[in-house]
Structure 1
Amino acid sequence: MNAYLHRSEDRGHVNIGWLNSKHSFSFGSWYNPKYMGVSSLRVINDDHIAGHQGFATHPHDNMEILTCVLKGTISHKDSMGNSGDIKAGEWQLMSAGSGIQHSEMNQYDEEVHLLQIWIHSNEHDAIPTYQQIECDVTQQPNQWHVIAGAHNTAHMHLRQNAEVKSALLEQDHYLNVQAVHGLNYIHVISGAVEIGEHLVKAGDALLFREVAEIKALNDAQMIWFDLTEQK
């Protein structure tokens, strides 16, 4: 298999007390020109946020911002008038479009663990939108769940020719991967899997083009980004 393995230990690590974060790609104070994203995928931040802390109101534009809450509850508020909690097993997608202001705060005692994902939009200065769903993949294991995409079968509409899928694959079970758009980028959240001859463990990601089979070496949660190759 012709593939590139992005090891967890090559991610950036930023710890400012209330926020302990691993950055797959250059972000904020951590910069590495080798890691600037893959195709339209620009950010995967693995964030642990202490109780009663979080991200105060700040702006974004022309970015698809996807949040996957793995543990705890984060409280959202934005300039479109949306507000409320996003709990473990829930996903949020903000299409920032022409511009949005928002905050994401942990208002509770329990630490929040979430993934913050940014994908470049293919629509410039579109009307901002907000979407939120419950899709706890741990409750329906061993299958891909289409979280976001440009087609009607996705739970949330993504302004990009890409798909975001997620799964919990139980030990010794298999799942197939075949890109619709051209590139597969599999990010392992927890556990470990085999993809071809590659061992991909928690925090690692594998980039490849071929059809492949994933085998779980133990219970493993993953996100699959099906991305369009950029010329």
Structure 2
Amino acid sequence: MNAYLHRSEDRGHVNLGWLNSKHSFSFGSWYNPKYMGVSTLRVINDDHIAGQQGFGTHPHDNMEILTCVLKGTISHQDSMGNKGDIKAGEWQLMSAGSGIQHSEMNQYDEQVHLLQIWIHSDEPDATPTYQQISCDVQQAPNQWHVIAGPNDNAQMHLRQQAEVKSAFLQQDHRLNVQSVHGLNYVHVINGAVEIGEHLVKAGDALLFRDVAEIKALNDAQMIWFDLTDNA
């Protein structure tokens, strides 16, 4: 199996006190030319945000911004008029398009743990949109859930030829991975899995083109990015 293992320990680490974050790819003050994204996937930030803290109002454009809340609750407000909470087990997709401003604040005392994911849009300067769903993969384990994609099988519409799927795989269970768009990038959130001959643990990701089987070595949660091979 021809694959590249992106190890957790090779991620950038930024600790601002109120924010403790691991960056899979170059972001903000952390820059490494080896890690600039994969295909149209540009950012995976694994963020822990302290209570009563967060990201004040700031701009984005021409990026598909996906938030996966793993623990706690983050409060969102944007220039489109959307305002509300995103809780653990919920996902948000903000298509920034021609430009938006938004804030993400932890208005509660409990620490928030979330993933921030950016994917380049293939529709420049489109009208911004907002989507939010509840999909706690632990409640329906051992299957892929299509979180976002360009087609009707996805729960949220993504402005890119890519699919984002997630699963909670119980120990010793197996799932198949076969790309539609050309490249597989499987990021393990927690637990550990075996993909081919590769051990992929929490914070690691595996990039490969082949069809593969994932086996959970213990209970594990992951995100599978099915990406184009020519970006």
1:91 match: 91
Secondary structure of 2:37's partner? coil
Tell me the number of residue pairs that the alignment of Structure 1 and Structure 2 aligns. Answer: 231
TM-score, normalised via structure 2 length: 1.00
Instruction: Give the whole-Å Cα distance in 2 for the aligned partners of 1:173 and 1:153.
Output: 24
Query: The residue matched to 2:9 in structure 1 has which SS?
Result: helix
The question of 1:14 aligning with 2:14 is answered yes
Unpaired segments ≥5 residues, structure 1: none
| Equivalence for 2:198 | 198
Amino acid paired to 1:164: V
Cα drift, residue 90 of structure 1:
0.1
Q: Which whole-Å CA distance do the structure 2 matches of 1:197 and 1:152 have between them?
A: 34
Q: Which residue of 2 aligns with 1:32?
A: 32
SS at match of 2:138: helix
Q: CA deviation at 1:58?
A: 0.1
Which residue of the partner structure matches residue 152 of structure 1? 152
In structure 1, what is the equivalent of residue 58 of structure 2?
58
Equivalent in the alignment of 1:217: 217
Q: What SS does structure 2 have at the residue aligned with 1:222?
A: strand
Q: Gaps (5+ residues) in structure 2?
A: none
Q: What are the Cα deviations for residues 49-81 of structure 1, in whole angstroms up to 9, with x where unaligned?
A: 000000000000000000000000000000000
SS state of the match for residue 138, structure 1? helix
Identity of aligned residues (%): 87
Per-residue CA deviations over 1:9-48 (Å, capped at 9, x if unaligned) read 0000000000000000000000000000000000000000
Correspondence 1:43-122 to 2 at 5 A: 43-122=43-122
| Shift of residue 229, structure 1, vs aligned partner | 1.0
Counterpart in the other structure of 2:125: 125
Shift of residue 195 of structure 1? 0.2
What is the one-letter code of the residue matched to 1:101?
A: Q
Deviation beyond 6 Å, 4+ runs, structure 1: none
Q: CA deviation at 1:115?
A: 0.1
